[in-house]
Every structure is written in C-alpha cells, then in structure tokens.
Amino acid sequence: MAEYGKKNFVLFFIDTVLFINAMTYLSVTAVITYFLNTLGASTFQISLASILVSVGTFISQPIFAKKAAGLTIKLKSFLRILSIQRIFFLFFVMTIPMLVSAGYYLAIMAFLICWGIFSFFVGSYTPFYMALTQEN
C-alpha cells in the first residue's frame, strides 16, 4: 500500500503543478467570457458556458463514483479519464484558428460542445481522488 501512496502523491502533485494551476487562468468569469464575447456570442451562449461547468460536474459525479467504487485498481482508469479529457480539449484548442476561419458561429458552438464534454469529465475528480486517497 505504501507504494501506491507514493505514486498517488507524486501524480497528485504533478497534476496540481501542471494542470490545475493552468486552469486558474482559464477562468469562466474572465477569459472564457472574453473569448466568447470576442467571437460574438450572445449572452445566453456566454451564460451557458458558465452553467456547463456546474451542471457537467454535478451530473457526472454519480457516474464516476459508481465507476470508481467498482474498480480494484483505480489509478489506471483515472489516468485514462484525465488523459482523454485533456487531450480532447487540447485538440479543440489547436483547432480554434481553423474553426474561427470557417465561421464564428461554428467556433462558438464547437467551444460550447467541447467545454460541456470537458466539464463532464471534471466530475471524475472528486470520486477518484477520494478513492485513491483512501487506498493509502
């Protein structure tokens, strides 16, 4: 068990340093609002981006909690979920120039869909963190 505790601690530390700190700059109230406003999004679309964070996390937590409770080795599944979430959003960020050149409406809709999926995966954090820290 001590081996898992050391690995979990290192992974949580790396996750905090590399990702969670970076996400503080992607504030829903500042950067994303400005990004959508610059694209010409309506107030409904801007508020939808804020709502997706809360709703996506709230709806997905029971799903991920059930998945985490049924796994004997949670770390690999959690790493897979986090990798999918972050690679998916990175792919969207890299396609922003192409989406904007195709049309602002397309870029706004693509962002809202990708942001909703990203927020859905945020619901995995608490159940998996709790499960992984209890393994110690």
Task: Tell me the pLDDT band of 26, cut-offs 50, 70 and 90.
Answer: low
Residue 62 neighbours by CB distance under 10 Å: 11
User: Which of the four pLDDT bands, split at 50, 70 and 90, describes residue 10?
Assistant: confident
What's the number of domains the chain is made of? Answer: 1
Which pair of structure tokens corresponds to residue 130?
């709790």
Provide the 10 A C-beta neighbour count for residue 58. 12
Name which of 4-18, 62-76, 83-97, 116-130 the model is least confident about: 4-18
Q: What is the pLDDT of residues 98-107, one digit of tens each?
A: 999 999 999 9
Report DSSP state, residue 1: -
Task: Tell me, yes or no, if the pTM score tops 0.95.
Answer: no
The whole-number pLDDT of residue 113 equals: 94
Is there a contact between 52 and 89 (Cβ–Cβ < 8 Å)?
Answer: no
Express each pLDDT in 40-90 by its tens digit. 999 999 999 989 988 888 888 888 888 877 777 777 888 888 888 889 989
Whether the CB-CB separation of 98 and 110 falls below 8 Å is answered with: no
Collapsed DSSP state (helix, strand, coil) of residue 70: coil
- Check residue 70 and give its pLDDT: 79
Domain range for residue 116?
2-134
Average pLDDT, the chain: 82
Q: Could you tell me which residue, 27 or 96, shows the higher pLDDT?
A: 96
| Token pair of 73 as six digits | 């080795």
Token representation of residue 121? 């995966």
Tell me which residue of 83, 51, 63, 76 sits closest to 124, measured CA to CA.
63
